[in-house]
Amino acid sequence: MTALATLPLAFSGLALLSLSMDRHVRQAMARQHQARRPGGWALLALSLAAALLSDNWRFGLVEWTGIIAAAAALVVLMLTYRPRALSAAAAVGTVLGLIGWAYVGLS
């Protein structure tokens, strides 16, 4: 169940990347922040790391390419229908992803 780590981390990473773009910052009524873009890439990299460090990295990599599609779809849906909640959701996703990673790693 690596997805417990990869999905929330990928979601948060892509959410931050979307919020580094002016159009979506306006949608989310947030303020622009310079750290969002590197932060987004870092979370995406963390998500990929979680996928590659799973029991079978080959399966992990295939699954991850699907995970980022699903995560991006969630970001798009939130930007369209719940834009203001996106930055909070990104924070929650980061925490959940790290907890999920710890859970997957320990079990």
Partner 1 sequence: MTGLHTWSGLVIGWLLFAITLTGTAAVFSSEISAWMQPEVAGRGEPRQAIEKAVAWLRQTQPHARGWFLAADERIATVHALYEDRTAPRGYRTASFDAITDTPVARPTMGGQFFYRFHFELMLPNPWGRILTSAAAMVMLIAIVSGIIIHKRIFADFFTLRPTGGQRGWLDAHNVFGVLALPFHLMITFTGIVPLFKTTLPWGIVANYGADNATALAEFYPGLPRRGPSGTPGTLADIGPMLAEAERYFGGGRIGRVNIAAPGDAASIVTIMRNDGDQLAYMAQALRFDGMTGKLIGAHTEDRPARKTFDVLYGLHIARFAPDVSRWLYFVCGLALAGVIATGLNLWLKAREPNKGFGHWLVARLNVGTVVGLPIAMLGFLWANRLLPATYLERSAAEVSIFFWIWAACSLYALLRAPRRAWGELAIVAALAAGLLPFVSLALTGRGLWHAMDGDRLFLGFDLVLFALAALAAVIARKAFATSGPIRLARKQEAAA
Which spans of this chain sit near partner 1 (rule: CB under 8 A)? 1-3, 14, 18, 21, 23-24, 58-59, 62-63, 65-67, 69-70, 72-73, 75-77, 79-80
The least CB distance from residue 68 to partner 1, in Å, is 8
Q: Do 97 and 19 contact (CB within 8 A), yes or no?
A: no
Nearest distance from C-beta of residue 18 to partner 1, angstroms: 4
3-class secondary-structure state, position 2: coil
CA dihedral 15, 33, 27, 46 (to 10 degrees): 0
Tokens of 42: 């870092």
* Local structure of 5: helix, strand or coil: helix
Minimum CB separation of residue 4 from partner 1 in Å reads: 9
Pick between residue 32 and residue 65 the one whose CB is nearest to partner 1.
Answer: 65
CB nearer partner 1, residue 76 or residue 91: 76
**Identity of the residue, 73 or 92, whose beta carbon is nearer to partner 1 in the bound complex:** 73
Nearer to partner 1, 31 or 81 (CB): 81
Measured CA angle at 101 (ends 57, 36), to 5 deg: 100
